[in-house]
Structure 1
Amino acid sequence: MVNLMHRRLSAKLSFLAAFSGAVFLCSSASARSEGATDQGAYIAVTSDCVACHTAPGGKPFAGGLALKTPLGTMYSTNITPSTTFGIGDYTEADFSRAVRKGIRKDGNNLYPAMPYTAYSKMTDRDLHDLYVYFMKSVRPVESTPPKTSLPFPMNIRSSMMFWNILFRNDRLFQPDLSRSEEWNRGAYLVQGPAHCGTCHTPRGFLMQEKPSESLGGASLGSWYAPNITSDKISGIGSWSPENIKTYLKSGHIDGLAQAAGGMGEAVEHSFQHFTNDDLQAVATYLASVKPVRDPEDGNTSRFTLGRAISSADRVRGDQPIRSEDNSNMTGAELFMGNCASCHNFKAEGSRDGYYPSLWHNSVTGASNADNLIATILFGVDRHVSGVEAFMPGFGGRKSDAAQLNDEEIAKLTKYVLDTYGRPQVSVSGAEVKLIREGGAKSPLLALTRFGMAGSMTIITLACIYGVFRRIRA
Structure 2
Amino acid sequence: MLAIHSTGALAQSVAKSGASVDAHDTESELIHRGHLLAIASDCMACHTVADRGKAFSGGYGIVSPIGTIYSTNITPSKKDGIGDYTEAQFARALRDGVRADGAHLYPAMPYTSYAGLTDVDVHALYAYFMKGIEPVDSVPPKTTLPFPFNIRQSMIVWNLLFLKKQRFAINPNRSIEWNRGAYLTNVQAHCSACHTPRNALMAEDLDRAFSGAQLGPWYAPNITSDPVSGIGTWTDDELVAYLKTGHVVGKNQAAGGMAEAVQNSLQLLSTDDLKSIAVYLRSVRPIRTAGEGTPAFGYGGRGDAAASVDVGPSGTWVTAPTSGAVLYRGYCASCHRSDGSGSKDQSYPSLFHNTATGGANPSNLVAAILRGVDRKVGDTHVLMPDFGEDSYVQPLTNEQIAAISNYVLQHFGNPSVSVTPTDVAIARRGGPVPFLAWIQPFILPACFVLELLVIWLVIGRDVWRRRRARAKANVQEIAQ
Query: Does residue 296 of structure 2 align to residue 277 of structure 1?
Result: no
1:252 aligned onto 2:242:
no
Cα separation, 1, equivalents of 2:396 and 2:325: 14
2:17 equivalent in structure 1: none
CA drift of 1:123 comes to 0.8
Structure 1 gap ranges (5+): 1-23
Instruction: Indicate yes or no: 2:207 matched with 1:217.
Output: no
Provide the rounded CA distance (Å) in 2 between the counterparts of 1:139 and 1:228: 37
Q: Which amino acid aligns with 2:384?
A: M
In 2, the alpha carbon distance for the partners of 1:445 and 1:260 equals 25
Alignment match, 1:427:
419
- Other-structure match for 1:18: none
1:231 and 2:255 matched:
no
The Cα offsets for residues 70-113 of structure 1, whole Å up to 9 and x where unpaired, read as: 11111111111111211111100000000000011111111000
Whole-Å separation in 2 of the counterparts to 1:326 and 1:412 = 17
Paired letter, 2:187:
G
Structure 1 partner of 2:39 = 45
Q: Specify which of 49, 55, 76 is matched with residue 49 of structure 2.
A: 55
Equivalent position amino acid for 2:358 in 1: G
Deviation by residue 1:413-442 (Cα, 9 ceiling, x = unmatched): 111111111112121112111111211223
Residue 304 (str. 1) matches residue 294 (str. 2): no
Structure 2 residue matching 1:83: 3-state secondary structure? coil
Equivalent position of 1:90 in the other structure? 85
Q: Any idea what SS the aligned residue of 1:117 has?
A: helix
Deviation at 1:470, TM superposition (A): 5.8
Is 1:170 the counterpart of 2:165? The answer is yes
> What is the match of residue 124 of structure 1?
119
Moved more, 110-119 or 388-397: 388-397
Aligned equivalents of 1:363, 1:424: Cα separation in 2? 14
Write the mapping of 1:182-201 to structure 2, written as runs, cut at 5 A.
182-201=177-196
Q: Who is 2:372 aligned against?
A: 379
Aligned amino acid, residue 372 of structure 1? L
The answer as to whether partners of 1:230 and 1:287 remain within 8 angstroms in 2 is: yes
Identity %: 46
1:134-166 CA-to-partner distances (Å, cap 9, x unmatched) read 000111111111111110111001110000000
Q: Which residue is 1:159 aligned to?
A: 154
Q: Secondary structure at the match of 2:459?
A: helix
Aligned pairs, number: 444
Equivalent residue, structure 1, for 2:478: none
Q: Deviations over 1:340-389 (max 9, x none)?
A: 11111100010111111000101000111110001011111110012101
Partner of 1:356: 349
Q: 1:170 to 1:28 in 2, by over 3 A?
A: closer
Q: Return the alpha-carbon distance in structure 2 between the equivalents of residues 415 and 213 of structure 1.
A: 32
Measure the CA separation in 2 of the matches of 1:468 and 1:372. Answer: 63
Query: 2:332 matched to which residue of 1?
Result: 339
Q: Give 1:443 deviation, angstroms.
A: 2.2
2:359 corresponds to 1:366 = yes
Question: Using a 3 Å threshold, how does the CA distance of structure 1 residues 457 and 94 change in structure 2: closer, same or farther?
Answer: same
In the other structure, the counterpart of 1:413 is: 405
Q: Distance in 2 between matches of 1:230 and 1:452?
A: 45
Cα displacement string for residues 378-414 of structure 1 (whole angstroms, at most 9, x for unaligned residues): 111110012101111111448x651111110011111
Deviation at 1:308, TM superposition (A): 4.6
Contact 2:62-2:68 at 8 Å conserved across structures: yes
Of the three residues 36, 46, 57, the one matched with 2:30 is 36
SS of the equivalent of 2:80 reads: coil
2:427 maps to a residue whose letter is I
Q: 2:257: which partner in 1? A: 262
Q: Is the 8 A contact 1:327 1:408 kept in 2?
A: no
Calculate the TM-score normalised by the size of structure 1. Answer: 0.90
**Greater gyration radius:** 2
Letter paired with 2:317: E
RMSD: 1.9
Contact 1:26 1:38 in 2 (8 A): no
C-alpha contact 2:365 2:405 (8 A) present in aligned 1: yes
Say whether residues 1:208 and 2:203 are aligned partners. yes
Verify the 8 A CA contact 2:311 2:317 in the aligned structure 1: no
Q: Is the 8 A contact 1:377 1:436 kept in 2?
A: yes
Separation (CA, whole Å) in 1 of partners of 2:310 and 2:320: 14
**Gap change, CA 1:208 and 1:357, over 3 Å in 2:** same
The CA deviation at 1:456 is: 2.0
Cα 1:300–1:139 shift into 2, 3 Å: same
Q: 2:310 aligns with which of 320, 329, 343?
A: 320
Map of 1:19 onto structure 2: none
